[in-house]
């Protein structure tokens, strides 16, 4: 499996980009503390033409996230 770091993720106006395990996803590095499973992680994404949008994400284990994705 190969990993690629993207500096920019393109999304066409009116279309969605799905971030999920096994596909395009966010990876957090250099954390000062581990995420607490089931806790909320505040995340802000910065969009070039519409500005920043923040929302809390639920911290899950990889297995939990994969089960949600694959039913």
| DSSP characters over 28-50 | --S-SSPPPTT-EEEEEEEETTT
DSSP structural state of residue 8: -
Domain ranges of the chain: 16-71
CA distance 16 to 23: 14
pTM score > 0.85 for this model?
no
Check pLDDT > 70 for residue 1. Answer: no
Identify the band that residue 71 occupies on the pLDDT scale cut at 50, 70 and 90. low
pLDDT digits (tens, 9 = 90+) for 11-40: 888 888 888 777 888 888 898 988 888 899
1, 21, 23, 62, 64 from 69: Cα distances, Å: 19, 8, 11, 11, 9
Identify the band that residue 53 occupies on the pLDDT scale cut at 50, 70 and 90. very high
Predicted confidence at residue 10, as pLDDT, reads 86
């Amino acid at each position: 499996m190969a990993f690629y770091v993207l500096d920019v993720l393109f999304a066409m106006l009116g279309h969605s980009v799905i971030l999920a395990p096994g596909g395009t996803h966010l990876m957090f590095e250099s954390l000062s503390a581990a995420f607490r499973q089931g806790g909320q992680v505040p995340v802000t994404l910065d969009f070039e033409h519409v500005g920043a949008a923040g929302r809390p994400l639920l911290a899950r284990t990889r297995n939990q996230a994969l089960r949600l994705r694959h039913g």
